Structure 1
Amino acid sequence: MSYIADLAPNRGAAIGGTVAPKQQAPAVPDDAPVLVFQGNDIVWACASCHGDHGAGAGLTPALAGLSEAYIAKQLHDFATGSRPNESMRYVASAMSAEEIGQVSAYYAALPHVAGPPVDLGGDAARGEALSRTGDWKKDIPACVTCHGQQGEGVGGHFPALAGQQPEYIFHQLVSWKGGHRHNSPQSLMDDIASRMSDQDMRDVAQYFGSLRPGSKGGNHDEQR
C-alpha cells in the first residue's frame, strides 16, 4: 500500500502556509498509525502536510523526533483552542485520545530528516551566542536553559529546536510576541519573545534550524 502524496494538496497552506514538497510515495511503514498516511473520513492524513518522513517544510513544522509528550500536548492544545489554529483544531478535535497517543509515539520515534538550507536573513553565529548566553541587557535568558544544551528539547513543554524548520521557529516567536500564541508554561515564551527584536528572532531561528540532532554547538550549516 502506498501513500497518495497529493491526498490533500492545499491543506498545508491552511496549517502553516506551505505544503511539504512532494516526494516519491514510499511504502507505508507497518507500524504507522492509519491517520499518518491515510487519514479517515473526517481527518486528512498527517503526511499530506508534514511530509512522508515528518520533516515538514517552511511554516509547516517538522514532527520527526519531537518528544511524544510534546506532540500530544500540542494536539490537546489545538483541540481545546489553547493553541489557536483553525485547521489544526479541526484535525485534533476529531482525534480520539488513543489516536493522539499513537500519532505522537510514531513521530517521536522517527529519525530527524534534514531539510534544504533556508536563509532567513539571520546570523547563525549571533543566534548561537544568544541561545547559549542570552542577552541580559534585554532580560532575555539563554534558550538552552529550557530547550537543552544542543536544542534537543526537554520533556513535554520544551520542544527540540535543533533541525526544526527555521521559518517555523521564527513564525512561532513572532506569534508569541504578537499575543497570537499563548500555550507555553507560565507564559514563559510570551514574556521572552516580547523582548526579542525581529533580528534576534531571525538569528535564533537561523541557528537552531541549521543544527542536526546530536550535533555540538557551533556545528551548523553556514547557509542556514
Structure 2
Amino acid sequence: MGLSSHHTNCPHHWGRPYKRRTFVGFESRYNCCDGDLQSSGCALATTHVSQNYNPNKLMGYVRTLPKDTKNNPGVYALDCEMCYTTNGCELTRITVVNPECGIVYEQLVKPDNPIIDYNTRFSGITESDMSDVHTTITDVQASLLTRFSDKTILIGHSLESDLHALKIIHDTVVDTSVVFPHKMGPPCKRALRNLASEYLKRIIQNDGR
C-alpha cells in the first residue's frame, strides 16, 4: 500500500452498499448516507486505504495450547480495534472481558507499520492515543496465551477478524454474527451496532463514541 507521495482530499463512502426492497425490486444504497452506487463520496480523507492480500502477513501466527484440564478454561468476550497502515489493517487495541463484564485485559498496540488512517469513526482511537504506545502484537500474544487455553471459550462478533488481527489460531468460539444470522443468509452479517440497539438498547459505533 505505502505512504502517499502527496496529500489531497479523497472523497469516499465510509459505509458499505446494502440492498433494499423497492416497488420495482431491489436497489443498492450506501449505508453511510443512503446514496446510490453512482453518488459522490459523502466524506473526505487525506489518504486512501484499501484491503490487500500480502502473503507475508501470514507469518507470526500462534495457536492456543492445552493446559491443566482440572482448571476452568474460562469464558471471555473479546474485541479488537484495527487501523489502516502501509501494510493494510493492523491491531491497535485489544479488550477482553469476563462474564461479569469486568475488564481482564485491555491494551493499546503499536502496529508493525506506519499508520495512515486511525479508523477513529469506528475505533475511537486517535493519533494522540497512540503517541506513546510501545506494546507490540508479540507482547499481546504472549499475554493472551498465558491466560487462554485451547479450551477457553471466546465470544465476539465476526471473531475471524479479531483473531486475524491478533494472529491467533483458536477453535472454541461463540460468534454472535452466527448466533444472530442475517435474514439474507451468508455472506451477509448483521451489524454489531444493530444487535446492540435491538437486544441491549445501547448505541455503539456512533462516530467514535
**TM-score, normalised via structure 1 length:** 0.23
Higher fraction of helix: 1
**TM-score, normalised via structure 2 length:** 0.24
Largest Rg, 1 or 2? 2
